[in-house]
Structure 1
Amino acid sequence: MDVVFKAQRVITSAGEGARTIGVRGGEIVAVEPYEAELDAARTVELGSDVVLLPGLVDTHVHVNDPGRSEWEGFETATRAAAAGGITTIVDMPLNSLPPTVDIQSLEVKRKAAHGRVHVDVGFWGGAIPGNEAELRGLHDAGVFGFKCFLLHSGVDEFPPLDADALERVLRQLGGFDAQMIVHAEDSEAIERAPRAYGGRYASFLRSRPRGAENVAIAQVIELARWTGTRAHILHLSSSDALPMIASARRDGVRLTVETCPHYLNFVAEEIDDGATQFKCCPPIREAANREQLWRGLADGTIDSVVSDHSPCSPELKRLDTGDFGTAWGGVSGLQLGLPAVWTQARQRGFALTDVVRWMAENTAAQAGMRRKGHIALGYDADFCVFAPDEAFVVDGQSLRHRHPVTAYHGRPLAGVVRGTWLRGTEVTGDQPHGTLLSNGAC
């Protein structure tokens, strides 16, 4: 074998236990008791203070490359991902120029990423008005599904779908069993809400009410019910929607749901006025709402936790004025998702097996990746070496993403990523050896 890992704590589908893991050709070919002796060119023995996790799969990352690479970029984003124990990301179709809405733009994006990625990278396609004829071609070219907005996306080149267009696209995607992932906020509800302005976080929160999410999610549920197409709710922030999501799934609607570490960590009551690094859409809500989201994870109504890493250049955050009305909405936290979730999860009695389910197993399954998210025979040898009892205080300047702006700066977190391995090779950040993924091939 190429490399053997011996660890007293390994997370597999059977739970946590001592294991010896053998790797050949980038694939897991042996999962044996800890005492097993396997011949290999290299043996990595891990101490009892760390846990060997499957590499995390983050299916919601805005790399913004090409076109807005001054906001992030493939090199910096994938270095940050690896530093956070993430071995696979799926890049969102917007904020790059051009957006990924046809085969030509997909090829432009792949060319921008080629030879520059430190983890494996897949791509979502976009569904916008007028590109229905492009969707099957994009699917056949390898995108993992299609993203749409139900209100203005924040960039003019990625306009939203109205209800009729959404139904047409869902019916089309159902014909080749592709998935629609939806930014679910209702445009009319947002238009009727008070406008966000100035430095008060409470003003921004009123501008993105829970009702806007609830109405949009209800619409997606019914269209998914009528069409039978797979639908996925992005970055759930409103806990009010959990009962109807659970009801729809009991009825057999093909629906999955994600939330994000910032909704599980931060609460509106503690966000200072002018702290625009916390601005995101939908917004971080109140403490009681946060606890309901945790209950949604506990009972399985929420499937997964992903970063929604949405960085920008610092001046766009308007940190100088603290104006929530004009600041770019997005939290930069790609590298910090695992410790951020673990910090809160352990306080509520969850185990690392739960975190792995939310951030590796279920995210891989949602994207249709059959070789990612598990430490098991036949899977890619993607690993995260995690010290769950070690703590640190976040220093934005030390993070690997392009700009030091993050809502987590100064926050104490539990759990440190000691190392990341992609298909049996350690990711050091020096030489990129990630690959570009296509649906059905990973």
Structure 2
Amino acid sequence: MSRKSSAPQSGPAKLDVGSEVTYVRSNQVVLDNTIGPAEIVISDGKIVDVLPKRNWARPSGEKILDIGDLVVMPGIVDPHVHICEPGHPSCEGFASVTKAAAAGGITTIVDMPRHCCPPTTSLSALDSQFQAAKGQCHIDVAFWGAIVPGNQTELLPMLKAGVPGFQCFLMATGAENFSHVSLHDLHVAMNELQDTNCVLLFHAEQEPNQPVPVLEDTAEYSTFLDSRPDTMEVEATLTIAELCLQYQIPCHIINLSSAQALPIIKDAREQGAPITVETTHHYLSLTSECIPPGGTYYKCCPPIREKSNQEQLWAALQVGQIDMSVSAHVPCFRDSKEQNNGDFLKAQAGIASLQLGLPLFWTSAKCRGFSFHNLVQVLCKNPAILSKLEDRKGSLRPGMDADLVIWDPEKEFEVKKDIIHHKCKLTPYLGFQLCGKVFATLVRGRLVYMDGKFATKAQGELLVSERQMPTKNPSPYY
């Protein structure tokens, strides 16, 4: 699939991290329909042309990045990242998150609404996030809003201010200022949002009809797994599918863990529901059988399930039943994970993995026959569509933002704490041998990361321009 990588070269002008690049050349450029030698021509942060090798320009004094046989792909779009700013100055903020993202080849993230304080449930809270993020972002950042009981009058103002959609929970979140919604709340919100250009994101778990007894050792992962059975996802998915069919508002299921919910999604799509679904890198890389007693850094909701379930997720991803894989990065610190003495039921949920998404996915995907085009669809194009950014992100073609990841798909490395750039170093992937190392990341034509170094100045944009709200919004997936 890929040839031995040659050493990158820059010229004729010297390129430092932070430089604007005019030409990027590689023998392996992943375009919409081909992979091969190409020169990407960049001006004012946009791709203005893509030239075959025979037409490569030879200008003098221009900033050319010639990276030989390294792969050039569209920058990765991660639409599911949790940032704790504003409100939690000691936790993960925009600066550390976006640096880690850049080191992982991610050029755009969309911040989830729950972990900041106040959460993004109102226009004023959204403005607080804008103010906190200004001048701190090394890559481009967009923001989701949230639906909570009683905030229906805030939804249209937030939509107009630039959020692409709204997240909600169907069961208790554990956060006092972020309540889950009832069926009545959803009908109110969906009536308010009908015929608008937005998407609703659902954390698809519902409380079981009968309480699940917890009788086993809470330091054993099996106890936590038994407390959140597949039926919680299945019942939630049924609810979401019915609402999606009724209102025809695009609905997106986040954090899909259970393959048992997939037939419901497939059936809803066949009936005309504009419903999409993501899974996460940890559901595709980790299995419940391998989680050690007390290893609460593996805890996430929904839970990591068994190997047979994981294989079904991979199979669904290969045939397009699952649209994308995301990090669902939650910055959990060691003391918050370990202060409960390895108790899975008390420990904070969430896995830190943002920087590792591309190599995690590729390490498993390449063994299953995934191509570079498959990667672009799952990690770039579909997330850009979900985030309403497909007009500028997710593809390498004229008119698009010059967002690129340059990486070596054959390079192996070990995950160690000293290579992780997000604040939370505690991750299940420590010690993993992964394949696929990022060499450089460009955001709108500027080198924000290269060979372990970062641009000194954060110049990422906040993607919050006012959105048009058409009278109809058919899902672009179908």
> What TM-score comes out, normalization by structure 1 length?
0.97
- Between the aligned partners of 2:393 and 2:297, the Cα distance in structure 1 is 32
1:12 matched to 2:31: yes
1:438 matched to 2:464: yes
How big is each residue's C-alpha offset from its partner over 1:370-394, in whole Å with a ceiling of 9 and x where there is no partner? Answer: 1001111100000001100000110
- Between the aligned partners of 2:320 and 2:304, the Cα distance in structure 1 is 21
Give 1:429 deviation, angstroms. Answer: 4.2
- Between the aligned partners of 1:403 and 1:259, the Cα distance in structure 2 is 22
Amino acid at match of 1:63: I
> Residue 198 of structure 1 aligns with which residue?
218
Amino acid at match of 1:46: I
> Residue 304 of structure 2 aligns with which residue?
284
- Between the aligned partners of 1:323 and 1:378, the Cα distance in structure 2 is 51
Aligned counterpart for 1:388 among listed residues 395, 409, 413: 409
> Residue 45 of structure 1 aligns with which residue?
66
Aligned counterpart for 1:418 among listed residues 418, 421, 439: 439
Maintained 8 Å contact 1:279/1:329: yes
- Between the aligned partners of 1:359 and 1:347, the Cα distance in structure 2 is 17
1:361 matched to 2:387: no
- Between the aligned partners of 1:213 and 1:28, the Cα distance in structure 2 is 42
3-state SS of 1:90 partner = strand
Aligned counterpart for 1:340 among listed residues 353, 357, 360: 360
Aligned counterpart for 1:122 among listed residues 142, 154, 171: 142
- Between the aligned partners of 2:89 and 2:205, the Cα distance in structure 1 is 27
Aligned residues: 440
Sequence identity percentage: 39
CA gap 1:320/1:133 in 2 versus in 1, 3 angstroms: closer
- Between the aligned partners of 2:313 and 2:21, the Cα distance in structure 1 is 42
> Residue 9 of structure 2 aligns with which residue?
none
Amino acid at match of 1:152: A
Give 1:155 deviation, angstroms. Answer: 1.2
How big is each residue's C-alpha offset from its partner over 1:317-368, in whole Å with a ceiling of 9 and x where there is no partner? Answer: 1267111011110010000000000000011111121111101010001111
Q: Which moved more, 1:425-434 or 1:415-424?
A: 425-434
Q: List alignment gaps of at least 5 residues for structure 1.
A: none
Maintained 8 Å contact 2:160/2:467: no
Aligned counterpart for 2:200 among listed residues 166, 180, 187: 180
3-state SS of 2:380 partner = helix
How big is each residue's C-alpha offset from its partner over 1:283-314, in whole Å with a ceiling of 9 and x where there is no partner? Answer: 10000000000011011010011100011222
Superposition map of 1:164-175 within 5 A = 164-175=184-195
1:149 matched to 2:176: no
**Greater CA radius of gyration, 1 or 2?**
2
- Between the aligned partners of 1:34 and 1:199, the Cα distance in structure 2 is 58
How big is each residue's C-alpha offset from its partner over 1:149-199, in whole Å with a ceiling of 9 and x where there is no partner? Answer: 00111311100001121122122212323211000100245x712348621
CA gap 1:234/1:404 in 2 versus in 1, 3 angstroms: same
Aligned counterpart for 1:228 among listed residues 248, 254, 267: 248
CA gap 1:289/1:377 in 2 versus in 1, 3 angstroms: same
- Between the aligned partners of 1:71 and 1:317, the Cα distance in structure 2 is 14
3-state SS of 1:350 partner = coil
- Between the aligned partners of 2:420 and 2:330, the Cα distance in structure 1 is 15
Give 1:66 deviation, angstroms. Answer: 0.8
CA gap 1:275/1:192 in 2 versus in 1, 3 angstroms: same
Aligned counterpart for 1:87 among listed residues 107, 121, 133: 107
3-state SS of 1:105 partner = helix
Maintained 8 Å contact 2:403/2:445: yes
How big is each residue's C-alpha offset from its partner over 1:246-285, in whole Å with a ceiling of 9 and x where there is no partner? Answer: 1111111010100100000101011111111110000100
> Residue 6 of structure 2 aligns with which residue?
none
How big is each residue's C-alpha offset from its partner over 1:22-53, in whole Å with a ceiling of 9 and x where there is no partner? Answer: 000000001110232234721111121x1001
Amino acid at match of 2:407: F
Maintained 8 Å contact 2:45/2:444: yes
- Between the aligned partners of 1:371 and 1:194, the Cα distance in structure 2 is 49
- Between the aligned partners of 1:82 and 1:421, the Cα distance in structure 2 is 8
> Residue 54 of structure 2 aligns with which residue?
35
Maintained 8 Å contact 1:144/1:438: no
Amino acid at match of 1:416: K
Amino acid at match of 1:313: F
Aligned counterpart for 2:425 among listed residues 404, 424, 437: 404
Maintained 8 Å contact 1:246/1:301: yes
> Residue 227 of structure 2 aligns with which residue?
207
How big is each residue's C-alpha offset from its partner over 1:78-119, in whole Å with a ceiling of 9 and x where there is no partner? Answer: 000000000000000111100011111111111000000000
- Between the aligned partners of 1:367 and 1:92, the Cα distance in structure 2 is 12
> Residue 102 of structure 1 aligns with which residue?
122
> Residue 217 of structure 1 aligns with which residue?
237
Q: List alignment gaps of at least 5 residues for structure 2.
A: 1-19, 449-453, 469-478
Superposition map of 1:243-322 within 5 A = 243-318=263-338, 321-322=341-342
- Between the aligned partners of 1:33 and 1:250, the Cα distance in structure 2 is 41
- Between the aligned partners of 1:52 and 1:441, the Cα distance in structure 2 is 31
3-state SS of 1:330 partner = coil
3-state SS of 1:35 partner = helix
> Residue 399 of structure 2 aligns with which residue?
378
- Between the aligned partners of 1:138 and 1:172, the Cα distance in structure 2 is 13
Maintained 8 Å contact 1:144/1:439: no
- Between the aligned partners of 2:352 and 2:465, the Cα distance in structure 1 is 27
> Residue 76 of structure 1 aligns with which residue?
96
> Residue 159 of structure 2 aligns with which residue?
139
Give 1:439 deviation, angstroms. Answer: 6.0
